[in-house]
Structure 1
Amino acid sequence: MIRSYLTIAWRNLVKNKGYALINIGGLATGMAVAILIGLYIVDELSWNKNFKHYDRIARVLVNVNGENSSGWYQQWGTATPLAPEIRATYGSDFDHVLLSSQGMTAILSSGDTKVSQDGYYFEPGVADMLSFEMIRGSRDGLRNPESIMLSESAAKSLFGSDDVLNKTVRMDGQTDLIVTGVYRDIPAHADFNDMRFVLPWQLAVQKNFNNNNGNQWDHNGFITWVQITDKTDMATATSRIKDVMLKRVDTEFAKSKPQLYLHPMSRWRLYSDFESPGYASGRIRFVRLYGIIGCFVLMLACINFMNLATARSEKRAKEVGIRKSIGSARKQLVSQFFSESLLVTLLAFCFTLVLSQLALPLFNTVAEKQMQIPWNSATFWLAGLTFVAFTGLCAGSYPALYLSSFQPAKVLKGTSGSSRSGALPRKVLVVLQFSVSITLVIGVIVVFRQIEFGKSRSLGYNQEGLIYSSTPTREIHNHYDALRHELLGSGVVVSMAESVNTPTNVGFHIGGYEWEGASPGEGGFGTAWVSPDFGKTMGWNFVEGRDFSHEFASDSNAMILNESAVKFMHLKNPVGQTVKSTIFDKTTSYTVIGVIRDMLQESPFEPVGKTIYMFDKGMWSKNGGTLVNLRINPAVNTREALNEIERAWKKYDPSSPFEYTFVDADYARKFREEERIGKLAFAFAAIAIVISCLGILGLASYMAEQRTREIGIRKVLGATVANLWAMLSKDFVVLVLISSAIAIPVAWYFMNNWLQNYSYRTNLSWYIFAAAGMGSLIITLLTVSYQAIKAAIANPVRSLRSE
């Protein structure tokens, strides 16, 4: 019986090749999108699951209740005494409590080989906490302060193999370290995937990397990681340690009620944007968005199948009538139509696998993933076959139930198969198709408008020809004046300055500032340490006052505020005002010497943060790690200028490569997430439109075929091609207009909510919705016109010769 069903199904497909191509092509495209999105979602949800203790690792954050206009904010850095305090007081709740530096870049060398690698200073225990897969050595390699653990790729870059135990590596041309372990590279779909080396925390202490802040609770430049025991949970552990800082910080900071919070590793990837204490969103909204889009695209493909199957019901009506009249039960007919649906879906799935494999490299590029189709996974094939069965049953459900319900007497008299009851569901499905498609198109337009809105925002400085380079060693800072003199003298650089952070990231957000009229618990300020000429190099615009200068010795205790800081501090005459700062347990008075227009250094979609610029006295550069900012002479060829800068750079620091970043390129990365959303949404919206148009094309073809005699009679009576085109197109135009009326309010609701995630956002102009509706209407008319005009210009003799 099943063989008979499949044979009939195959013959029907072969007989109607155009219909079969549209059906299989539409389903294959929709299923390919669903598979790619499914791979994306699985990859996102499996982030960090390679770590053995994935569900018990957390990062310690600090929730600060700033009063007045500052509001609640979150501090991602912690003080160095925090980890020892938690270990000493609450050690029974934790397997590990480890302190680490922020991620850092160092120059590792062995002989003539030098590589720039990213890594961390970490307390012993990191290898156990992160379940390193050791290739050489043991997990206890960080007990020796003069040791280093390398990833497999870093070991091969330096030595050509991973058999490097007890070999010497020089870091930043200064410190010799012994390799005590080699671990397998952490997978790309995990945090710490860029960690190519790990250094012992004791080495940081010896190098004074932590600026002697071992007992200072107000310096929050480091990270505390924990692994709870298997007998406790995150909520319980959080409740026990939450007030640790409250009893240790100074009186002023205690007024802001700082509380510790454990942010579990299982939530790092998808829940990293904290909107209120304990509540976070983040990339999870993209996972949900893509999941919804995948379901919609697959739904559109299934709707095509339903529409085309029911539209062609008249051709199958006599078959159904004859089958019923000779004894076929409705259950048998339902089984037949479901078998046809499953056959089409199975064929579509075969094409789906090919399409998915071909599209995956491009999808990986846009999504910045390294996903692969798991061909060898039994789970994948089981899921695929389940997917085929589910899609086939969904796509074939309505045709099977509809066609099998025909009454033999009416069918054989020719009075069934073209009734309005059959046309109405098809129209409803077409409206649903285009409603989804138009909604996606509007969403794409809004996303790209938001991106362009952010890009058009005033930066407050000039990015043209501006680059920065990190200085992992002290050499550049020690010879800074000589390097500056040489580069300015060569004419390839017009300005040059040092800073602690990049022009596109303030980096440090520090509290402890006091000024006249300040209230307790005021929120932290973005704080940037810079050298004189930084403002000249950036192209600052002064509202009042002046820039830092070597000519004024007092500038070592001076600061410059941006407009947002002045507004926040309510200073009417800021220049000359005194601001006290308590940093590193030392209170210092600073004089405001200037106010600059806001310089955009953080998110282009958020208000410029209140920022204080301080004179760098060399405090940050004694161990390297600062930046040199250079503005290339616009009259000089950029490549020649970079070659000259590199030559001079290596003259003073031959141990370090000259690695630079263009500020405009660095700033462009801030749009990466939104652009990725836009590109993927554009692709999905385009596919949705194509699938919808395939359905429209099939229905238009069927309609033209169904009304062949009517068209012939109308032509004989004098109807023009334009009259016939309008007659055949108007039904689809009405459907698209109804779809627009449904899609526009739905799209406005969802996109308006999406824009609320951005403080600095575009508006939802009426012409966005008009353009989406008109575009869909034009695409529909172009799709329908081919079949309509083809039918209109046909010779009426052929359609009426048997009348």
Structure 2
Amino acid sequence: MFHSSLKIAWRLLRRSKGYAFINIGGLAVGMAVVLMIGLWVWDELSFDRSHKNHERLAQAWQMVSFDGNNGYYNSMPIPLGEELRTKYTGIEAASITSYPRDYVVMQDKKKLTLNGLFAEPDLPAMLTLEMNEGNVHALTDKHAVLISASMAKTLFGKEAPMEQAFRINDKLDVKVAGVYKDFPGNSSFNGIKFIANWSLYTQMESYAAYALDKWDENSFQLFVLMKNGVSVDQLSEQIRDIRMKRENPPGYKPQFFLHPMNKWHLYSDFTGWAKSEGLIRLVRLFAMAGIFVLLLACINFMNLSTARSEKRAREVGIRKALGSQKRQLLYQFFSESVLIAFLSLMLCLLLSWLALPFFSSITGKDIRMPLTNWMFWLALFLFTLFTGLLAGSYPAIFLSSFRPVAVLKGVFKTGRANVLSRKILVVFQFAVSVALIIATIVVGKQIQYAKDRSSGYSRDQLVEVPMYTRELYGHYDVLREDLLKTGVVYNMAQSQGSITADYGGTTDISWPGKTPGTSPLLMANRITHDFGGTVGWKLVKGRDFSRSFSTDTSAIIFNEEAIRVMGLQDPVDQVVRYSGKDYRIIAVAANIIKEDPFKPVKPTLYTLDYRGVNSVMIRIRQGANMQNALARIEQVFNRHSPSSPFDYKFVDDAYAAKFAAELRIGRLAGFFAVFAIFISLLGLFGLAAFMAERRTREIGIRKVLGANVLQVWTLLSKEFILLATLAFVIAAPLAYYFMNQWLDNYSYRIQISVWIFAIVAICIVAVTVFTVSIQAIRAALMNPVRSIRTD
């Protein structure tokens, strides 16, 4: 029975090639979209699942409340690790670590910049590292280091890496005690090339040694492994007030909680104590969008199948008259739809293979089809079967319900219900397309709005060079002099970290008129002379730091937001007390965007300090050849810092990276919109062609009676234009509501303007008119004699 049903279905497809092309093409595109978005969703949902303990691993965070505002930080005091290990029975292991960053690794004549981490000995076992050589407990040796397989290959080539020695930042001598398999791309630890013993970090970094027993020094990460069956929520509740019980910090309230590894990637935006949302919203949104695109393709199949019902009616009537039961007819029609779905699958796989590189560039991931995974093929088979059954469900039920007597007598009519349902489905298709187009435009406008926002400094020709070793400290002035002599450097300065990020804050500040009991958090930045001239910041009031004033070591500059928060009037020359020392305000700087360009700038202070800096800012002269300029700058750096590689980054590139998440949303929305429109128009084209064919005789009679081309075009196009207009009327307010909700996540946002809807309305009607006109004009120009003779 199955074989004969497929043979009949195949013959029908060969007989109706246009119908088959539209249905197979539409379904293939819809299935390809779902396949690609499914691979992306799976990659996102499987993040960190490569760690066998992912359900028991957690990272310590704290919510700090001050002045009615909450801040969330994963910076912990070192003593908290020992406290959790020894006093809480629900914790199996805990490990304090540094933050991962780049270090200079030297071995013989090789000099590399690699990302690394310093951790207490339990971390490798907690992460269930897959060891190629050695074991996960090797960090009990003070000078031991575990390296990744890729680092072993890069550093030692074909030599055996075990027991090999190398040097970190020209300070630490370490020995390879194990080689682990590189972390996968969908791991939070991806890119970490080595893990070294924690005690080495305290030996290298004086602030870490100072903080060993300090509860108020929050500069480190803490990971914990919970025992089986322990609730992360209950454990978070137990550790919540550890800091408050030890001390009562004035003006703010720190509360600890544990953030489970399962939520690190998708739930990273905290909305309250131990509560979070995040990327999961995007995953849900685009998973739903993928389903809608598939529905559009299925709707095409339903519409064209039911529109052709009159052609299949006689077949159904004869089958029923010969004794076929409804169950057998349903089986036949479902066989046809499933056959079309599996034919679509072959085209779907080809389209996906061709489109995946482009789709990967949109998502920022290397997404591939797991062709060797049998689960993938099983899921694909079930998905295709489901698609075929879904697409064929309404046509099968509709066609199998025909009454044979009415059909064979020639009095069969499809009925208003069928026509109405077809119109509803067309409206749904266009409504989804309209909503996606509006969403794409709104996201694009929001991104451009933030890009047009003044960053507060000049990013053009600005380069940052990190200071990995101490070689540049103490003779920076000589380096500066030599760089300026090259003629390619306009100005330069040092700063505490990158200008595109914040590094630490303080509440230890008081000023005249400060309200007792309040301690606002201000970002603190150490800079050197010429910082303002190098980055091109703007001073609203006062003067910049200057070598002409020896007292500037006790001078301070605030940004506009800090002055607003502090409530200072005429701030210049007022004295504030910061970190136990008096400083005189010499200027107010315009706000500089260092973090999220969609959020308000944080209150920030700047002090002159040549000791606490670790980055060199260089302004290259306008008109200089960039490649030549960087080569000359590298020569000077290599003379002054021979043990450190010359790594640099362009500030405008780092700033552009801040828009990556929003750009991804916009590109994905555009991706869906393009395919939604394509599928909708493909279905509209097929439906218009069928309607024109169905009314061929009527058109011929009308032309004989004097109808012109415009009247015939109006006859065939009017209904579709009305349906497209109705779809816009339904979709526009819904799109406005949901996009307004999305924009509410941003402090710095656009207002959705009317012109967006006007443009979309014009475009949707225009493409509808164009698509339908192809068939309408073709029918209108047909010879009326041939039209009247058409069966």
Same fold (TM over 0.5): yes
Q: Distance in 2 between matches of 1:359 and 1:698?
A: 25
Letter in 2 for 1:673: A
The question of 1:540 aligning with 2:537 is answered yes
Contact persistence 2:300–2:680 (CA under 8 A):
yes
Q: Distance in 1 between matches of 2:159 and 2:177?
A: 12
**DSSP 3-state at the match of 1:258:** strand
Contact persistence 2:466–2:647 (CA under 8 A):
yes
Deviation of residue 652 (structure 1)? Answer: 0.7
Moved over 4 A (4+): none
In structure 2, the partner of 1:451 is 447
Letter in 2 for 1:185: D
In structure 2, the partner of 1:163 is 160
Contact persistence 1:313–1:417 (CA under 8 A):
no
In structure 2, the partner of 1:770 is 758
Deviation of residue 278 (structure 1)? Answer: 2.3
CA 1:75–1:510 in structure 2 vs 1: closer, same or farther (change >3 Å)? Answer: farther
Contact persistence 1:165–1:181 (CA under 8 A):
yes
**DSSP 3-state at the match of 2:207:** coil
393-402 or 356-365, which deviates more = 356-365
Alignment of 1:6-21 (within 5 A): 6-21=6-21
In structure 2, the partner of 1:281 is 277
Q: Distance in 2 between matches of 1:372 and 1:423?
A: 42
In structure 2, the partner of 1:52 is 52
Deviation of residue 531 (structure 1)? Answer: 0.9
Q: Which runs of 5+ in 1 are unaligned?
A: none
Q: Distance in 1 between matches of 2:58 and 2:535?
A: 39
**DSSP 3-state at the match of 1:463:** coil
> Aligned to 1:606, which of 594, 599, 603?
599
- Cα-to-partner distance string for 1:157-206 (whole Å, 9 max, x where unaligned): 11114721111112223432211111110111111111101121101112
In structure 2, the partner of 1:424 is 420
645-654 or 73-82, which deviates more = 73-82
> Aligned to 2:143, which of 141, 146, 161?
146
In structure 2, the partner of 1:362 is 358
485-494 or 748-757, which deviates more = 485-494
Q: Distance in 1 between matches of 2:206 and 2:24?
A: 63
**DSSP 3-state at the match of 1:257:** strand
The question of 1:615 aligning with 2:608 is answered yes
Contact persistence 2:37–2:290 (CA under 8 A):
yes
Contact persistence 1:496–1:534 (CA under 8 A):
yes
Contact persistence 2:526–2:608 (CA under 8 A):
yes
Deviation of residue 231 (structure 1)? Answer: 4.3
Contact persistence 2:716–2:776 (CA under 8 A):
yes
Deviation of residue 254 (structure 1)? Answer: 4.9
- Cα-to-partner distance string for 1:482-518 (whole Å, 9 max, x where unaligned): 1101111222111101011211112223322222314
The question of 1:199 aligning with 2:196 is answered yes
The question of 1:555 aligning with 2:534 is answered no
Q: Distance in 1 between matches of 2:515 and 2:61?
A: 26
Contact persistence 2:250–2:519 (CA under 8 A):
no
- Cα-to-partner distance string for 1:465-497 (whole Å, 9 max, x where unaligned): 111011111112333111101111222111101
**DSSP 3-state at the match of 2:4:** helix
Q: Distance in 1 between matches of 2:765 and 2:603?
A: 48
- Cα-to-partner distance string for 1:698-751 (whole Å, 9 max, x where unaligned): 100000000101111121222221221121110100000100010001101110
Deviation of residue 276 (structure 1)? Answer: 2.1
- Cα-to-partner distance string for 1:622-660 (whole Å, 9 max, x where unaligned): xxxx11000001032222211110111111112222111
Alignment of 1:102-113 (within 5 A): 102-113=99-110
Q: Distance in 1 between matches of 2:547 and 2:78?
A: 34
**DSSP 3-state at the match of 1:38:** helix
RMSD across aligned C-alpha pairs, in angstroms?
Answer: 1.6
- Cα-to-partner distance string for 1:353-380 (whole Å, 9 max, x where unaligned): 2222222222122212223222232322
In structure 2, the partner of 1:389 is 385
Contact persistence 2:492–2:616 (CA under 8 A):
yes
Q: Distance in 2 between matches of 1:513 and 1:84?
A: 31
The question of 1:595 aligning with 2:588 is answered yes
Q: Distance in 2 between matches of 1:605 and 1:519?
A: 32
Q: Which runs of 5+ in 2 are unaligned?
A: none
> Aligned to 1:630, which of 618, 621, 638?
618
**DSSP 3-state at the match of 2:212:** coil
Q: Distance in 2 between matches of 1:490 and 1:678?
A: 43
- Cα-to-partner distance string for 1:335-393 (whole Å, 9 max, x where unaligned): 11111111111111122122222222221222122232222323222222221221111
Letter in 1 for 2:24: I
- Cα-to-partner distance string for 1:567-591 (whole Å, 9 max, x where unaligned): 0000112222333334xxxx23322
In structure 1, the partner of 2:214 is 216
- Cα-to-partner distance string for 1:400-437 (whole Å, 9 max, x where unaligned): 11111112222223332443332111111000100111
Letter in 2 for 1:372: R
Q: Distance in 1 between matches of 2:413 and 2:148?
A: 69
Q: Distance in 2 between matches of 1:43 and 1:230?
A: 26
CA 1:236–1:391 in structure 2 vs 1: closer, same or farther (change >3 Å)? Answer: same
> Aligned to 2:308, which of 306, 312, 332?
312
Q: Distance in 1 between matches of 2:704 and 2:397?
A: 40
In structure 2, the partner of 1:333 is 329
Alignment of 1:488-507 (within 5 A): 488-507=484-503
Alignment of 1:631-780 (within 5 A): 631-780=619-768
Q: Distance in 2 between matches of 1:385 and 1:269?
A: 30
134-143 or 605-614, which deviates more = 134-143
Letter in 2 for 1:438: V
- Cα-to-partner distance string for 1:2-57 (whole Å, 9 max, x where unaligned): 22211111000000111101101101111111111111111111110111111111
Contact persistence 1:136–1:162 (CA under 8 A):
no
Letter in 2 for 1:218: D
Q: Distance in 2 between matches of 1:744 and 1:65?
A: 40
Task: Using the aligned pairs only, state the percent identity.
Answer: 44
**DSSP 3-state at the match of 2:252:** coil
| Matched positions, count | 789
**DSSP 3-state at the match of 1:190:** coil
Q: TM-score normalized by structure 2?
A: 0.97
Contact persistence 1:246–1:254 (CA under 8 A):
no
The question of 1:483 aligning with 2:479 is answered yes
Q: Distance in 1 between matches of 2:175 and 2:48?
A: 29
Letter in 2 for 1:213: A
700-709 or 143-152, which deviates more = 143-152
**DSSP 3-state at the match of 1:107:** strand
CA 1:208–1:400 in structure 2 vs 1: closer, same or farther (change >3 Å)? Answer: closer
Q: Distance in 2 between matches of 1:630 and 1:705?
A: 71
Q: Distance in 1 between matches of 2:158 and 2:475?
A: 36
Deviation of residue 209 (structure 1)? Answer: 4.0
In structure 1, the partner of 2:268 is 272
